[in-house]
């Protein structure tokens, strides 16, 4: 089933999400054609239960789809939309059409204004699932004041107090930070593999001193380190997604986000080292992915934050069982060993 879904999404993205399309949307072009194609494909409802019109996948089953979004530098929030629609469906709230972003924790000023800084895809989303004071509510972007953030697809969003009061709260507690971290880790894994493959191809094609630079031992060593980080990150991201339904284990999420964040720093640096100056240019595709590696590394907390979460989880375990805790947390069911 994973191959069926991932193959269909790959085919869609190969035709609709080319590097040129990503550049155009980052430059201000409307994301609507791409969003419409994704909406019509049904992938936005992949995590929604079958009884409510979705595919009924869990996070573990959807890992390959999430990874593909990173591998194609998808400029619209499909993973976040998948998750938000599933959470709304669980609450028996009919998910609206359109794309949705996530905001892990909003701040509120004295006049009641709700502010979310650097919302990922705040410019391309129709609504944002916001967490505030233990509650989650879906707020439309159209009612928000929007300011540009550093990344061209992101935005700082502010809603009046009335917008929060009028929105329907999702029942129960939802840890959006942990959920967002798992999504970001999966996308990081996809982007890391894309950078690895593109760098290997470049090293085999770029000729210097009469032979491809990939034939030089120093470059081979750098390529080996990139591959090591990329594959370790993919395994860690799979660990983060291994859960029942939509409830990731905090320790596994910490392992996933911390390891993929570490890999992002190393792989981006080594890839640019191998490419030389051309890798930094806007015309070259590499920067579409390495910019996202640095951005997604910070999403939902950097590796230092998640190292703290993992350390706290291990300290809470009996000393004699710490190794068993790690073994259990890093065990992956064979059905999760997917490839992209």
Q: What's the CATH code of the domain at 297? A: 1.20.140.10
Look at residue 15 and tell me if it is in a domain: no
pLDDT at 332: 67
Q: Which residues contact 180 (CB under 8 A, 6 or more apart)?
A: 80, 102, 104, 299, 300
Do 131 and 278 have their domain in common?
Answer: no
In this structure, are 316 and 285 located in the same domain? yes
> Residue 226 and residue 314: Cα distance in Å, rounded?
29
What is the distance between the alpha carbons of residues 324 and 240, in angstroms, rounded to a whole number?
17
Does one domain contain both 211 and 265? Answer: yes
Q: Are strands 100-103 and 127-132 parallel, antiparallel or unpaired?
A: parallel
Which pLDDT value is given to residue 119? 96
Backbone angles phi, psi at 228, to 5 degrees: -60, -50
Residue 166, domain extent: 99-172
Same-domain pairing of 201 and 325:
yes
* 326, 192: one domain: yes
3-class DSSP string for 312-340: HHHHCCCHHHHHHHHHHHCCCCHHHCCCC
Instruction: Clarify whether residues 151 and 289 are in a common domain.
Output: no
pLDDT along the chain (340 residues), means of 10: 83 96 96 94 94 92 96 97 95 89 92 94 95 92 94 96 92 90 98 98 94 94 97 96 88 96 97 93 95 96 94 75 67 54
pTM: 0.93
For residues 199 and 293, membership in a common domain is answered with: yes
**Residues 125/100, Cβ–Cβ less than 8 Å:** yes
């Amino acid at each position: 089933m994973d191959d069926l879904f991932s193959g269909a999404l790959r085919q869609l993205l190969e035709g609709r999400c080319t590097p040129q399309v990503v550049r155009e949307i980052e430059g201000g072009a409307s994301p609507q054609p791409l969003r419409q194609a994704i909406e019509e494909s049904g992938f936005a409802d992949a995590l929604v239960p079958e009884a409510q019109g979705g595919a009924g996948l869990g996070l573990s089953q959807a890992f390959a789809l999430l990874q593909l979004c990173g591998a194609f530098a998808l400029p619209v929030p499909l993973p976040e939309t998948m998750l938000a629609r599933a959470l709304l469906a669980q609450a028996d709230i009919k998910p609206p059409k359109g794309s949705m972003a996530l905001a892990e924790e909003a701040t509120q000023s004295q006049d009641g204004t709700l502010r979310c800084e650097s919302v990922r895809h705040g410019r391309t989303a129709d609504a944002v699932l916001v967490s505030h004071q233990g509650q989650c509510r879906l707020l439309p972007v159209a009612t928000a004041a929007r300011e540009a953030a550093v990344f061209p697809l992101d935005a700082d969003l502010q809603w009046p107090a009335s917008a929060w009061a009028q929105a329907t709260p999702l029942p129960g507690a939802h840890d959006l930070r942990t959920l967002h971290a798992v999504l970001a880790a999966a996308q990081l894994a996809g982007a890391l593999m894309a950078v690895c493959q593109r760098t290997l191809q470049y090293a085999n094609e770029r000729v210097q001193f009469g032979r491809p630079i990939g034939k030089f031992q120093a470059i081979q060593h750098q390529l080996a380190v990139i591959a090591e980080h990329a594959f370790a990150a993919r395994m860690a991201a799979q660990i983060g997604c291994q859960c029942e339904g939509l409830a990731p284990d905090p320790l596994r999420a910490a392992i996933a986000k911390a390891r993929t964040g570490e890999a992002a720093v190393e792989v981006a640096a080594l890839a640019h080292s191998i490419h030389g100056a051309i890798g930094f240019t806007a015309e070259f595709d590499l920067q579409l992915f390495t910019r996202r590696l640095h951005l997604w590394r910070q999403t939902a907390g950097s590796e230092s934050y998640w190292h703290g979460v993992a350390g706290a989880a291990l300290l809470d375990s009996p000393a004699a069982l710490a190794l068993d805790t790690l073994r259990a947390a890093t065990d992956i069911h064979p059905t999760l060993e997917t490839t992209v």
